[in-house]
Amino acid sequence: MCGIIGYIGSRNAIPILINGLKKLEYRGYDSAGISFLTGSQLGVRRCAGKIRELEGFIQKEKLKSTIGVGHTRWATHGKPSEENAHPHRAGGIVVVHNGIIENYFELREGMKKEGHRFTSETDTEVICHLILTYTQKGLSLEEATKEALKHLEGAYALGIMSEAEPDRILAVKNDSPLVVGLGEGEHFIASDIPAFLKYTRDVMILENGDIASVSRSGVSVWNMHAGKKVNRKVEQITWSPAMAEKAGFRHFMLKEIFEQPRAIADTIRGRISLEQGDVNLSEFSLKGGDLKKLNKIYLVACGTSWHAALVGKYMIEDMVRVPCDVDIASEFRYRKPIIPKGSLMIVITQSGETADTLAAQREARRLGARVLTICNVVGSTSSREADGVFYTHSGPEIGVASTKAFTTQLTALYIFSVALARARGRLGASEAQDLFHELLQLPEKVKAALECNDAVKKIARKYCRVRDFLYLGRGINYPIALEGALKLKEISYIHAEGYPAGEMKHGPIALIDNNMPVLAVAPDDNVLEKILSNMEEVKSRGGTLIAVANEGNTKVATRATDAVYMPRTNYYLTPVIMSIPIHLLAYHIAVLRKCNVDQPRNLAKSVTVE
C-alpha cells in the first residue's frame, strides 16, 4: 500500500505534492519522491525515509513547476532505499505505482535481454520500460500505456508523465484505489481524497480498467474493459479532513478492519498457482529440498502475532504432520530450548522490530535452526536477519490493536502450510487446488462477514458496561478466543480471559454468573458438539451467552442470548472469518466506553525494548 499524488494547473506543484504526500503518509512511509516537468524536462527527486526528509532535501532548490507526481512508499518488492523509491524513470517516462505487478520478474528478464537497463529491485520499473518501448514505436503516451497494460498482471494504480507530452498526467486504476480531484483550471490525482481535500471537494472516483487523461482544461476517461470513452460521476465530499484521512471511518482500527478483503487479496496475489496446485516459493529462499528435510517447527511471536502462531500450529500439524512448538518470544529465549537438526523457526511479526521476537530469532539461528519470518514490513530487522521472508502485504497498520495484520498472517500461514505439505508429498495437486479455491474466495467472504458490523454494534451496546468477559473456543478457534479477550482488554480496559472451552470445568466455571458475559466462538467444525455442551454448562449456571457461529446454525441459536452468524469456509480458514466479529466487538465496546481506540493507554504499536 503506497500513496500517489499528482497535480496539473497553474500553481507551483511542488508544495502541493509535498502537502498531499504528508496526508498520504499513513499509506506508507519508508521512502518518498516527486517528479515534475520544467518545460519538457523531467526532474526526479527521491530519498529513503519520511516525507519530511524529502521536503528538507528539496527545500534548498526552490523548485518550480506546474505539473508533477509524487509517491510515498510502503515497500513490497525491494528494500526501502533511494533506488527503489518512486517515481521510476525510463527515458522520458516517469511512473508512480501503488500495488503489486505479479509477473514483473518474467517481464523484467525478457526486457533485459532486449537491452533495457534496470536500476531498482522494484516491480514498478518494468512499467516505465514497457511504456517507453511503445512510445519509441511512435505511439502517443495514452496509446503506449494501453499497450503496456496488456502485459501487466496484478493490482495497480499508476500516475504517469512523459517529457514528450508535458501537458498531461495519465491516471490508471486496476484494483488499487485512485481518484481525480477537479478544480478550476487545475486537477489532481491521488490514492485517497485527503491528499487534495484542501484544494477541492469535487471528486471523480475511477473504476477498474480506467485510464484518465488529466490536463489543465479537463479529464477524459477511457476504460480498457469497455474499449471506449466513459463518463464517471463527480461527487461532492462532505467529510472533514480528519475523517477523510481515515477514509471516512472514525478510527484507524475500524478502517483497517474494513481493509481486510484488500489486504488478504494482496497477501495471496502472486503466491499460488491454481493450475498446478503449487505455491510460488521463490521469495522464501527456502527450497523444496529444505522443506522436505524439516523435522521440527517452532512458531514464535508476541501479542496478537502469537495468536496467529497458535493457529499456525493447527494448520501445519494437520496438513503437514510435522511437530510444531509454539512459544511466546520472551519465553523462548530464556528457556534453554533444544533445537534438533532440521529445525525451522517461523517468526511471526507485523513490525519485524519487536525486541523479544528478534532475540528469539537470533537465538534460534545461533542454535542452528533456519528462520522464516512472516512479516509486514519490508526491510525490517526480522526480514533482514531471516533465511526467508513471507511478506504479508497488508499495508501499514496504524491502530495499535492489530487486525488486518493478524488475518494476513493467518493467510500467509495457510499458504505456507500448503507449500510444505506439497513439498513433502502430503497433499496432491487436486487437494491443493481445492484449498486454493477456498482461499481465493476468502476476500469476498471476509467482505460478507463484515456485514455483521451493525449486529455486533447492538451486542456491544448491551454489554459495554460489564467488568469481566470470558471468551471460549476450541481447536483451531481456541486462539481466536484468546485474541478476542486480548483485544477487549487492550482497547476497552475490561478484564477478559480467553479459555479453551473444555477447560471450563477445571476452574473458570466457578466465575459464571449473570454479570459476566461468555462469548463462544462456535463455527461448524469437528468440535462443534463439544463446544455446544460447554455452552450448556454456562447456560445452566445462569450465565449469559454470546455466540459467533456459522449461518444457519440453529443449535447455537437456541443456546445463545445473542449471536452473530458468519459465512462458511473450510476448517483452516474459519479463524480468519471468526476474528471479524471478535475484533468488531472489542472496537465497538471501546468506542462506547469512550476509550482511545487507536492509541490505548500504556501500549505501543511496536515494542522495541525487552
Q: E-assigned strands of 474-516?
A: 495-500
Residue 300 near ligand G6P by CB under 6 A? no
Stretch of residues binding ligand G6P (CB under 6 A), selected from 268-276, 427-435, 477-485, 602-610: 602-610
If DSSP states are collapsed to H, E and C, what string results for 533-580? Answer: HHHHHHHCCCCEEEEEEECCCHHHHHHCCEEEEECCCCHHHHHHHHHH
Stretch of residues binding ligand G6P (CB under 6 A), selected from 23-31, 300-308, 312-320, 563-571: 300-308
Query: 220 vs 606, which CB is nearer to ligand G6P?
Result: 606
The C-alpha cell of 466 is what?
460489564
Q: Do the Cβ atoms of 472 and 444 come closer than 8 Å?
A: no
- Shortest distance, position 416 Cβ to ligand G6P, whole Å: 17
- Shortest distance, position 314 Cβ to ligand G6P, whole Å: 19
Encoded one letter per residue, x for contact with ligand G6P by CB under 6 A and - for no contact, window 247-286 reads ----------------------------------------
198 is catalytic: no
Q: Which secondary-structure segment (H or E) carries 139?
A: none
- Shortest distance, position 75 Cβ to ligand G6P, whole Å: 16
- Shortest distance, position 330 Cβ to ligand G6P, whole Å: 11
Q: Do the Cβ atoms of 153 and 101 come closer than 8 Å?
A: yes
Residue 605 near ligand G6P by CB under 6 A? yes
236: helix, strand or coil: strand
Query: 188 vs 252, which CB is nearer to ligand G6P?
Result: 252
Q: Do the Cβ atoms of 105 and 124 come closer than 8 Å?
A: no
Query: 145 vs 357, which CB is nearer to ligand G6P?
Result: 357
Q: Return the closest-CA partner of residue 2 out of 176, 120, 126.
A: 176
- Shortest distance, position 400 Cβ to ligand G6P, whole Å: 5
Report which residue type is found at 186.
E
Terminal Cα-to-Cα distance of the chain (whole angstroms):
30
Query: 171 vs 347, which CB is nearer to ligand G6P?
Result: 347
Encoded one letter per residue, x for contact with ligand G6P by CB under 6 A and - for no contact, window 5-44 reads ----------------------------------------
Stretch of residues binding ligand G6P (CB under 6 A), selected from 159-167, 299-307, 450-458, 527-535: 299-307
From 296, 457, 489, 605, the catalytic residue = 605
Query: 401 vs 546, which CB is nearer to ligand G6P?
Result: 401
The C-alpha cell of 404 is what?
488486518
- Shortest distance, position 505 Cβ to ligand G6P, whole Å: 31
> What is the number of other CB atoms lying within 10 angstroms of the CB of residue 338?
9
Q: E-assigned strands of 125-164?
A: 154-162
CB within 8 Å of 168: residues ≥ 6 apart: 8, 141, 161, 213, 214, 215
- Shortest distance, position 186 Cβ to ligand G6P, whole Å: 41
Query: 266 vs 356, which CB is nearer to ligand G6P?
Result: 356
Among 44, 450, 455, 607, binds ligand G6P (CB under 6 A): 607
Q: Do the Cβ atoms of 302 and 360 come closer than 8 Å?
A: no
Q: Return the closest-CA partner of residue 155 out of 269, 52, 61, 321.
A: 269
Q: Which secondary-structure segment (H or E) carries 212?
A: strand 210-214
Which DSSP string do the residues of 321-368 spell out, in sequence order? ---EEEEEHHHHTTS-----TTEEEEEEESSS--HHHHHHHHHHHHTT
Among 19, 304, 381, 492, binds ligand G6P (CB under 6 A): 304
296 is catalytic: no
- Shortest distance, position 401 Cβ to ligand G6P, whole Å: 6
Size of the site for ligand G6P (CB under 6 A): 16
Among 20, 270, 303, 500, binds ligand G6P (CB under 6 A): 303
What backbone torsions phi and psi does residue 255 show, to the nearest 5 degrees?
A: -60, -45
Which DSSP string do the residues of 28-96 spell out, in sequence order? --SEEEEEEEETTEEEEEEEES-HHHHHHHHHTT----SEEEEEEE--SSS-SSTTTSSPEEETTEEEE
Encoded one letter per residue, x for contact with ligand G6P by CB under 6 A and - for no contact, window 326-355 reads -----------------------xxx--x-
Query: 303 vs 498, which CB is nearer to ligand G6P?
Result: 303
Residue 259 is classified by DSSP as: T
- Shortest distance, position 142 Cβ to ligand G6P, whole Å: 43
Residue 302 near ligand G6P by CB under 6 A? yes
Using CA atoms, how far apart are residues 51 and 19, in angstroms rounded to an integer?
9
Using CA atoms, how far apart are residues 32 and 22, in angstroms rounded to an integer?
10
- Shortest distance, position 397 Cβ to ligand G6P, whole Å: 8
From 2, 302, 375, 595, the catalytic residue = 2
Query: 141 vs 326, which CB is nearer to ligand G6P?
Result: 326
Q: Do the Cβ atoms of 329 and 382 come closer than 8 Å?
A: no
Encoded one letter per residue, x for contact with ligand G6P by CB under 6 A and - for no contact, window 385-424 reads ---------------xxx----------------------
- Shortest distance, position 260 Cβ to ligand G6P, whole Å: 15
- Shortest distance, position 348 Cβ to ligand G6P, whole Å: 7
Among 145, 305, 534, 553, binds ligand G6P (CB under 6 A): 305
Query: 84 vs 330, which CB is nearer to ligand G6P?
Result: 330
Q: Which secondary-structure segment (H or E) carries 130?
A: helix 125-136
Query: 98 vs 349, which CB is nearer to ligand G6P?
Result: 349
Query: 247 vs 607, which CB is nearer to ligand G6P?
Result: 607
Using CA atoms, how far apart are residues 17 and 190, in angstroms rounded to an integer?
10
Q: Do the Cβ atoms of 121 and 84 come closer than 8 Å?
A: yes
Encoded one letter per residue, x for contact with ligand G6P by CB under 6 A and - for no contact, window 159-188 reads ------------------------------
What backbone torsions phi and psi does residue 61 show, to the nearest 5 degrees?
A: -80, -15
Using CA atoms, how far apart are residues 314 and 372, in angstroms rounded to an integer?
18
Query: 98 vs 351, which CB is nearer to ligand G6P?
Result: 351
> What is the number of other CB atoms lying within 10 angstroms of the CB of residue 339?
17
Q: Report, as residue numbers or ranges, the catalytic residues.
A: 2, 605
Binding site for ligand G6P (CB under 6 A): 302-305, 349-351, 354, 357, 400-402, 603, 605-607
